[in-house]
Amino acid sequence: MATVGSRGVSTGRAQADVTSGRNNADVSQREDLSNFISMITRDETPFMASIGKTKAKAIFHEWQTDELAAPGDSKLAEGADYGTDAAPVTGPHRTRLGNYTQINGKSLAVSGTRRAVDQAGVADEYAYQLKKRGTELRRDVEFDLVHSYNAASASGTRQMGGFQSFVNTADTCVFAGANWTAGSGDGTDTISATAGANGALALSDIDSVMQKIYEEGGKASRIMLSPKLRRDFSDLMVSDSGVRRNIDTDGKLRQSVDVYMSDFGDLMVVPNYIMGLANTVDFGDGAESVADFAALIYDPQWFKIATLRSLQEVDVGQKGDSTVGMMVEEQTMECLNPRGCGAIYALN
């Protein structure tokens, strides 16, 4: 029997349940809950997807670079004896670079109850969380490679140097703002600043980096930008070059620019949402926001992920009434030719 509350409102079973969206008068009505869970977060790793893979065999993974002598005079007199044009080579003149392996991991614990109940879209909560953590781990590595500005270090928790720790010299990099200082390009540091100022993305800076890379013997094929800078880049085609948007025969307006044909090679324009995420780095003048801060101009062949330990699940087992697990991998980044790639730093 229905009752009446203090304000004369019926509190019986016929009352609409506003929290569930059902009318309780129809007690046999089933919930309309789809047996599917939609992951609404982006899971792409554009930089990692573009580069190669190799094997690491030690905590400090090393590789070598070499370079040719500058072009000059090589003429010989007729009948000249061999060996008179140069001194004997007494030792290698190569450069040795290296990066520390970094251990990445995720832990999870799922209660016995959560594994036992019948859930929509999930057959086994532990397996679902394992897959979810693995995707998160891939995104974390991408963050370390292009957005952390970490330098290689064995102090405390080992960390690998990312893109900015190898591609940071004045040989191939440009600063859009003032008072910025280039790095050494060997993985041990990044750029620095003293009251550094930032500037806007400009086609002239892209052309300058491409020229620098070409003069160093490289040929970049991609420019990677945050979502905001990706839009800014397309806008530059109008503001800097005066090119009008293309309307095809079907009446479609083409807004974006997919390939930029520079004087020194074509660049595929690739957006990377991770480069637009909030993150702060101290470059020596206090905390600096690095969201939308850089444009990475590179050739994928010069980078590789070197794996010491492949991703694996460590099944810890039961801990009380929970199933506990851990995912672990150990790897680092190779930058085979730091001067074959470039960047524009200190963007707004």
- Position 264 in a domain: yes
CATH assignment of the domain containing 257: 3.90.1690
Q: Which carries the bigger pLDDT value, residue 47 or residue 26?
A: 47
- Position 210 in a domain: yes
Element (H, E) at 213: helix 203-215
- Position 38 in a domain: no
- Position 23 in a domain: no
Give me the pLDDT at residue 251, please: 65
With 0.85 as the threshold, say if the pTM is over it. Answer: no
Token digits of residue 63? 């590789």
Three-class SS string for 282-336?
A: ECCCCEEECCCCCEEEECHHHEEEEEEEEEEEEEEEEECCEEEEEEEEEEEEEEC
The arithmetic mean of pLDDT across residues 42-50, rounded, is 91
- Position 17 in a domain: no
> Residue 13 above 50 pLDDT?
no
Domain count, the chain: 1
- Position 31 in a domain: no
- Position 74 in a domain: no
**Interatomic CA distance for residues 117 and 333, integer angstroms:** 42
> Residue 149 above 60 pLDDT?
yes
**Domain encompassing residue 268:** 46-64+94-345
- Position 228 in a domain: yes
The arithmetic mean of pLDDT across residues 129-150, rounded, is 94
Give me the pLDDT at residue 245, please: 60
Rg (CA), the chain: 28
Burial group, residue 202, by CB count within 10 angstroms (0-12, 13-18, 19+): middle
196 pLDDT band, cuts 50/70/90, is confident
Give me the pLDDT at residue 9, please: 47
